[in-house]
């Protein structure tokens, strides 16, 4: 889907999420959302908050799993994805915080492996992710699955790519402050989602989007694995679609 602006595309995505939440609620079912951070999904979250306030959209039946978190990272730090999600969404809607799952950047290093196994098991235990939102990094990463990630990779600790750390430098006020590691849902975890929506805005994403959609599937660009997923939709603004 190529829309004239990211605002319009975000509104369309937010409406789709709202419809899913409502249709699940009408059946007395939980709605399991996989959520992303970064600048790309912020307008979707703004719209969901607006729909909660103005249209009474309830998040009482929603369970969320975030894709990733820097490691190490304290939840109250400025760059923490826990803080991000609270600021953009969770603090403004009626979600039960017991239903919110975000990889924990404070786990002891020796416990990360088991922590990741449990995160994965928890997703399975609620029936899997109904709808996974994704942004895309300049390296072609989804979540923090950097080049070299396999299509079956599980939730795990990953070493961040140099380009990803350069891109995050402004958030951390200097590149040397950007953590070298992160915990991320794996490509295999993401591929199990029943539906995936990847969003990209701006000319800075045009090259990696063209490579992702029209290039060969390759571990060098993990987002290309989405070509093998049967229910993935891309939402682009005009600039991000410029090289297609």
Instruction: Tell me how far apart the alpha carbons of residues 202 and 11 are, in angstroms, rounded to a whole number.
Output: 17
Judged by CB under 6 A, the chain residues 123 through 152 that form the site for ligand GLP are 135-137, 143-144
Give the number of other Cβ atoms within 10 Å of residue 19's Cβ.
11
Peptide bond into 72 cis (omega under 30): yes
Site string for ligand GLP, 88-127 (x = CB under 6 A): ----------------------------------------
Judged by CB under 6 A, the chain residues 15 through 54 that form the site for ligand GLP are 36-40
Among 9, 67, 100, 221, binds ligand GLP (CB under 6 A): 67
Judged by CB under 6 A, the chain residues 161 through 180 that form the site for ligand GLP are 164
Task: Reply yes or no on whether 77 is catalytic.
Answer: no
Instruction: Tell me how far apart the alpha carbons of residues 182 and 157 are, in angstroms, rounded to a whole number.
Output: 6
Binding of residue 153 to ligand GLP (CB under 6 A): no
Between CA 115 and CA 118, with CA 117 as vertex, the angle to 5 degrees is 65
Q: In Å, how far are 64, 94, 156, 213 from 183, measured between CA atoms?
A: 16, 27, 6, 26
Binding of residue 241 to ligand GLP (CB under 6 A): no
| 138, 143, 149, 154: CA torsion to nearest 10 | 180
Catalytic option among 110, 114, 146, 176: 146
Q: And the tokens for 167? A: 């891109």
Nearest approach in angstroms of CB 15 to ligand GLP is 20
Nearest approach in angstroms of CB 218 to ligand GLP is 18
Instruction: Tell me how far apart the alpha carbons of residues 181 and 187 are, in angstroms, rounded to a whole number.
Output: 17
Binding of residue 197 to ligand GLP (CB under 6 A): no
Binding of residue 68 to ligand GLP (CB under 6 A): yes
Nearest approach in angstroms of CB 42 to ligand GLP is 8
Residue (of 159, 147, 153) closest to 218 by Cα position: 147
Q: Which is nearer to ligand GLP, 90 or 137 (CB)?
A: 137
Nearest approach in angstroms of CB 94 to ligand GLP is 25
Between CA 19 and CA 27, with CA 25 as vertex, the angle to 5 degrees is 110
Q: Which is nearer to ligand GLP, 57 or 223 (CB)?
A: 223
Q: Report the length, in residues, of the chain.
A: 244
| Contact set with ligand GLP (CB under 6 A) | 36-40, 67-68, 135-137, 143-144, 164
Residues with catalytic function: 146
């Amino acid at each position: 889907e190529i829309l004239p602006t990211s605002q319009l595309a975000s509104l369309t995505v937010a409406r789709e999420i709202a419809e899913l939440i409502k249709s699940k609620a009408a059946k007395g079912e939980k709605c399991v959302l996989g959520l992303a951070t970064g600048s790309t999904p912020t307008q979707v979250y703004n719209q969901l908050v607006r729909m909660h306030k103005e249209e009474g959209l309830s998040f009482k039946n929603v369970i969320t799993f975030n894709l990733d978190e820097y490691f190490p990272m304290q939840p109250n730090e400025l760059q923490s994805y826990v803080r991000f999600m609270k600021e953009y969404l969770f603090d403004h809607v009626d979600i039960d915080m017991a239903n919110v799952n975000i990889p924990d950047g404070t786990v002891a290093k020796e416990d990360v492996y088991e922590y990741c196994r449990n995160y994965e098991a928890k997703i399975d235990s609620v029936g899997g992710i109904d709808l996974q939102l994704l942004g895309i990094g300049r390296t072609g990463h989804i979540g923090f699955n950097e080049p070299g990630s396999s299509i079956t990779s599980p939730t795990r600790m990953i070493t961040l790519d140099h380009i990803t750390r350069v891109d995050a430098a402004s958030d951390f006020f200097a590149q040397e402050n950007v953590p070298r590691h992160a915990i991320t849902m794996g490509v295999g975890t993401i591929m199990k989602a029943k539906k995936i929506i990847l969003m990209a805005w701006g000319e800075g994403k045009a090259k990696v989007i063209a490579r992702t959609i029209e290039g060969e599937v390759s571990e060098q660009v993990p987002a290309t694995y989405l070509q093998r997923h049967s229910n993935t939709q891309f939402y682009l603004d005009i600039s991000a679609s410029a090289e297609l």
